[in-house]
Structure 1
Amino acid sequence: MRTQQDWEWLAAGSEYLAAVAVQELLEEGKSMEAYEGLAFLIESMGKSKKLALRSQLIRLMSHVIKWKCQPERRSSSWSITIRSARREIEDLQEEVPSLNRAYIESVWDKCLGRAIEEAQEEMDKDCPITSLDWAEVFEENYSLVREKN
């Protein structure tokens, strides 16, 4: 019988191996143990998706900050990164519906703080931006084509 620590270690180390272990327990008719393993597996998968979403949100915010603070250095690469991060977040939300706007708002300030740090380090200068709103991050069009018109 696996302990709580065994399941935590297995699920954190390899979600695939944890799923295989759950399947084996089910085949052996050990449904209570399988249920326990499944709970740890689900928790582990949720954590990894939350980490991925926060990482993409920081990436997105950092590029929006750089876009706003360094208009002379704007590039199609920045525009592509902004669109890509938005798509990654949408994909994560489709896969895990609980990673909705309410979840994003709950981690917003922490992610923004990290994004400001990253952007300032990349720009090698301080930036006056201390806040971003939802529209700036998820709705504004950051495109060089728009600026040329």
Structure 2
Amino acid sequence: MESAAFPLRRDIPALQSDTEFDVLVIGGGIYGAWAAYDAASRGLRTALVEAEDWGAGTSSASSKLIHGGLRYLENFEFGLVRHALTERRVLARLAPHMVRPINFVLPVWRGARVGMGRLRAGLVLYDTLAWGRQPVQRHKRFNRDRLL
């Protein structure tokens, strides 16, 4: 696939010539491909080299969990939360065929490090910070009986 904004070419002679690149990415797994895409989308002349084929290496087999920065709330790192939420939204827009929501159940019990009130406040704040189109629904609360 080639577009005017992001031409993707298998161009071995360009790599063997004196062509200068701003960024050289080694490895065409998910992380290398994303790093190359990100660099190219920022206007950097980018080359990616891969020994096998796209997604043939170990990063293609690893977890690619895209979180929205919920864990940063505990330390009041709101900028990191917003950044993670923005990146999650961008990834869902650019690669909807690769990004799908996963529901989690967070159990809370008496004496837990983070109690129900604190967790509830954090999730409401998180949903507020995620304002706008997000690839996931807002949080839901289930009591024990309803969950079981």
Give TM-score scaled by structure 2 length: 0.35
Normalising to structure 1: TM-score of the pair? 0.35
Identify, as 1 or 2, the structure richer in strand. Answer: 2
Higher relative CO (Cα under 8 Å, sequence separation at least 6) belongs to 1
Larger helix share, 1 or 2: 1
